[in-house]
């Protein structure tokens, strides 16, 4: 069976076509600048195909994608596509698992789209486009927030007036749930048990730390939106909200402009003044740039703070896992974080850490907490959920 995993953005559409018999990626790619001018890139069989095309909307992107799947002999017929799984950022507390798309699901999605105005409406455009192009193929939605719905009320509520939660749904929802769930399932296979305490560190341009006990999310660092938690590529993470009024007055900015600064001009980029890309920061760090050193240490410290907090919350930890772009590729960040955790008995094998490529255990035999690097695969999780639902 072949499943399409789809991640639709406001002006983009990413896809992976996965053969579920062996869970291998047949083809993947991205359609970009939708509604502006348009171009696509498709990778298949070791080749990369790129072309500038007119993409008036997501329907154009989907139609061209399906056309290219045939023309490039990726599939012989569209009948080979058994299902389409869509990433949806925000499911609020209406969805605690992946579901097949029907009219009721679309109504619920429409009712909560304002909780993720930059993402959910775009996700819905992708769903509608595929429903129109492949009317007989089932569509599913896989939510970033679903895995975190096992958090207790004590955990997900904010210490603000209770009627904010009752009237407006103000609470912690988290994000990256599909990635954290993939890490949990992978660790279940590695440890050969589903009874363990895990701290999953999804560290990319966006970053979140999640405490998992016996396969269920206990707490996660992102909050009502992905702006909360650890500092990230361009996001501030947790800050005192009282800093906003004086900066608004001094900069003559409104609340939307300040929130935009916290989302797009803060974090690694804002503190370093160098770049939001960890590769650029690492290059400056290795040259002993003062701001790069400060930023790298601050970044590691904020991640450490959450790991330590969740270590206490879980009553210990069997494993810490690093994943996503930085977590998988930056041995310096992993070392800085683990060095901060020595008091918990975390002991890193420097050779294994420095030479890690792909999935690996990077802690020593004597480490009281096992430390792993595991490449995440959200597209595969979407495809797995879709296959399970359409069966």
- Average of per-residue pLDDT values in the chain: 93
With bands split at pLDDT 50, 70 and 90, how would you rate the model's confidence at 35?
A: confident
Query: In the 8-state DSSP scheme, what is residue 149?
Result: G
3-state class (DSSP) for residue 38? coil
6 shares its domain with 72: yes
CA angle 119, 267, 381 (to 5 degrees): 40
What is the percent of the chain with per-residue pLDDT over 70, rounded to a whole number?
Answer: 99
| Domain presence at residue 238 | yes
- Residue 336 CB contacts under 8 Å (≥ 6 apart), including other chains: 296, 297, 299, 300
| Domain presence at residue 320 | yes
pTM above 0.95, yes or no: no
Tell which residue, 317, 376, 365, has the closest CA to residue 341: 317
79 shares its domain with 210: no
3-state class (DSSP) for residue 372? strand
- pLDDT of 119 over the 80 cut: no
137 shares its domain with 18: yes
Q: What is the pLDDT of residues 141-171, one digit of tens each?
A: 999 999 999 999 999 999 999 999 999 999 9
| Domain presence at residue 351 | yes
196 shares its domain with 327: yes
131 shares its domain with 203: no
- pLDDT of 118 over the 80 cut: no
Q: What is the pLDDT of residues 170-229, one digit of tens each?
A: 999 999 999 999 999 999 999 999 999 999 999 988 899 999 999 999 999 999 988 999
With bands split at pLDDT 50, 70 and 90, how would you rate the model's confidence at 320?
A: very high
208 shares its domain with 126: no
What pLDDT shows up at residue 376? 93
What pLDDT shows up at residue 55? 87
| Domain presence at residue 47 | yes
Tell which residue, 48, 44, 57, has the closest CA to residue 8: 57
260 shares its domain with 126: no
| Domain presence at residue 131 | yes
CATH of the domain at 25: 3.30.420.40
- pLDDT of 305 over the 90 cut: yes
- Helices (H) and strands (E) in the chain — how many of each? 15, 14
206 shares its domain with 347: yes
Residue, of 200 and 89, whose pLDDT is higher:
200
Interatomic CA distance for residues 16 and 43, integer angstroms: 9
CA angle 12, 17, 23 (to 5 degrees): 135
16 shares its domain with 125: yes
Query: In the 8-state DSSP scheme, what is residue 11?
Result: S
| Domain presence at residue 107 | yes
What pLDDT shows up at residue 271? 95
236 shares its domain with 358: yes
Q: Which residues of 185-207 are buried (b: 16+ CB within 10 A; e: fewer)?
A: ebbbebeeeeebbbbbbbbbbbb
Q: What is the pLDDT of residues 262-301, one digit of tens each?
A: 988 999 999 999 999 999 999 999 999 999 999 999 999 9
> Hey, which bits of the chain come out as E strands?
2-8, 12-19, 24-32, 39-44, 47-52, 81-88, 99-100, 139-143, 197-203, 207-213, 216-220, 319-323, 360-361, 370-373
With bands split at pLDDT 50, 70 and 90, how would you rate the model's confidence at 112?
A: confident
| Domain presence at residue 167 | no
Domain end residue (candidates: 128, 143, 158):
143
200 shares its domain with 268: yes
- pLDDT of 85 over the 90 cut: yes
Quick one: average pLDDT of 337-365? 95
3-state class (DSSP) for residue 141? strand
| Domain presence at residue 284 | yes
Query: What total number of domains does the chain contain?
Result: 2
Write out the catalytic residue numbers: 144
Query: What is the arrangement of strands in the sheet containing 370-373, beginning at the earlier edge strand?
Result: 216-220, 207-213, 197-203, 319-323, 370-373, 360-361
By CB atoms closer than 10 A (0-12, 13-18, 19+), residue 120 is buried
Query: Domain residues for 228?
Result: 191-373
128 shares its domain with 200: no
Query: In the 8-state DSSP scheme, what is residue 138?
Result: -
């Amino acid at each position: 069976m072949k499943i399409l995993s789809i991640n639709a953005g406001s002006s983009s559409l990413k896809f992976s076509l996965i053969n579920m018999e062996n869970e291998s990626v047949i083809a993947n790619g991205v359609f970009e600048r939708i509604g502006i001018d348009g171009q696509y890139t498709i990778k298949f069989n070791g080749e990369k195909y790129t072309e500038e095309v007119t993409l008036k909307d997501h329907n154009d992107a989907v139609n061209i994608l399906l056309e290219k799947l045939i023309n490039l002999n990726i599939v012989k017929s569209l009948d080979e596509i058994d299902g389409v799984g869509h990433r949806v950022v925000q499911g609020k507390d209406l969805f605690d698992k992946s579901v097949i798309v029907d009219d009721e699901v679309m109504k619920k999605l429409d009712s909560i789209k304002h909780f993720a105005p930059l993402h959910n409406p775009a996700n819905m455009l992708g769903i509608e486009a595929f429903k129109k192009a492949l009317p007989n193929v089932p569509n599913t939605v896989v939510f970033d927030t679903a895995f975190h719905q096992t958090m207790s009320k004590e955990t997900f509520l904010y210490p603000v007036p209770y009627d904010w939660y009752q009237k407006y749904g103000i609470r912690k929802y988290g994000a990256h749930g599909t990635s954290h769930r993939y890490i949990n399932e992978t660790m279940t296979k590695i440890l050969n048990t589903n009874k363990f305490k895990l701290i999953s560190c999804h560290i990319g341009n966006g970053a979140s730390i999640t405490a998992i006990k016996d396969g269920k999310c206990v707490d996660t660092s992102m909050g009502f939106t992905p702006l909360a938690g650890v500092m990230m590529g361009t996001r501030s993470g947790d800050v005192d909200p009282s800093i906003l009024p004086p900066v608004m007055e001094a900069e003559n900015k409104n609340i939307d402009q300040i929130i935009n600064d916290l989302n797009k001009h803060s974090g690694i980029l804002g503190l370093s003044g160098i770049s939001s890309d960890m590769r650029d920061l690492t290059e400056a760090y290795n040259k002993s740039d003062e701001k790069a050193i400060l930023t790298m240490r601050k970044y590691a410290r904020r991640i450490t703070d959450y790991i330590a907090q969740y270590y206490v919350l879980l009553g210990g930890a069997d494993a810490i896992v690093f994943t996503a772009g930085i977590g998988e590729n930056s041995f310096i960040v992993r070392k800085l974080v683990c060095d901060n955790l020595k008091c918990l008995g975390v002991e890193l094998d420097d050779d294994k850490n420095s030479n890690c490529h792909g999935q690996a255990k990077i802690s020593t035999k004597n480490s009281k907490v096992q430390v792993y690097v595991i490449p995440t695969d959200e597209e595969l999780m979407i495809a797995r959920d879709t296959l399970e639902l359409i069966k």
